């Protein structure tokens, strides 16, 4: 019976050892799973933060682009107004100069006509001796 007791003790010792190792493996697996779960959570949070940051940056960029577009549009409108004003001024100056020139030409034509009229009268008077 001693031999049986020795064998039983060996079996119990081996069983206890296997049980301890199984429990250690179970604990290690649980810790590994918990660690992986925590890491996955951290990565998910990081991804959320990155998405939020990218979304915010995109929104800022869109706002800045909108502001720049508004500034450009405003500047273009201002330049167009300036150009239209300058063009209007030049047209007005040209029109005024053309009117002055036409008045001068009309005056010259009137003087030429009067001179021709006087010369014609003088010629006719000479023809008919009416001096």
- What's the pLDDT at 43? 93
Residues 59-104: pLDDT tens digits?
Answer: 999 999 999 999 999 999 999 999 999 999 999 999 999 999 999 9
Q: Could you tell me the pTM of the whole model? A: 0.43
For 47-57, the pLDDT digits (tens) are 999 999 999 99
| Interval 116-123 mean pLDDT | 89
Q: Provide the pLDDT for residue 9.
A: 72
Give Rg (Cα) of the chain. 55
Q: Where are the domains of the chain?
A: 1-95
pLDDT tens-digit map of 3-34: 766 766 777 787 877 888 888 888 989 899 88
Helices (H) and strands (E) in the chain, counts: 1, 0
CA pair distance 101, 114, nearest whole angstrom: 20
CA 48 – CA 55 distance, rounded (Å) = 10
pLDDT for 128 equals 82
DSSP string, 2-66: HHHHHHHHHHHHHHHHHHHHHHHHHHHHHHHHHHHHHHHHHHHHHHHHHHHHHHHHHHHHHHHHH
């Amino acid at each position: 019976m001693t031999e049986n007791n020795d064998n039983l003790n060996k079996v119990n010792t081996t069983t206890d050892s296997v049980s301890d190792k199984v429990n250690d493996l179970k604990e290690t697996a649980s810790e590994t799973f918990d660690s992986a779960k925590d890491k996955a959570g951290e990565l998910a949070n990081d991804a959320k933060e990155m998405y939020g940051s990218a979304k915010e940056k995109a929104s800022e960029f869109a706002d800045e682009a909108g502001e720049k577009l508004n500034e450009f549009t405003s500047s273009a409108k201002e330049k167009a107004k300036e150009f239209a004003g300058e063009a209007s001024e030049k047209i007005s100056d040209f029109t005024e100069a053309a009117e002055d020139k036409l008045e001068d030409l009309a005056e010259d034509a009137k003087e030429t006509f009067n001179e021709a009229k006087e010369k014609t009268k003088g010629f006719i008077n000479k023809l008919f001796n009416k001096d």
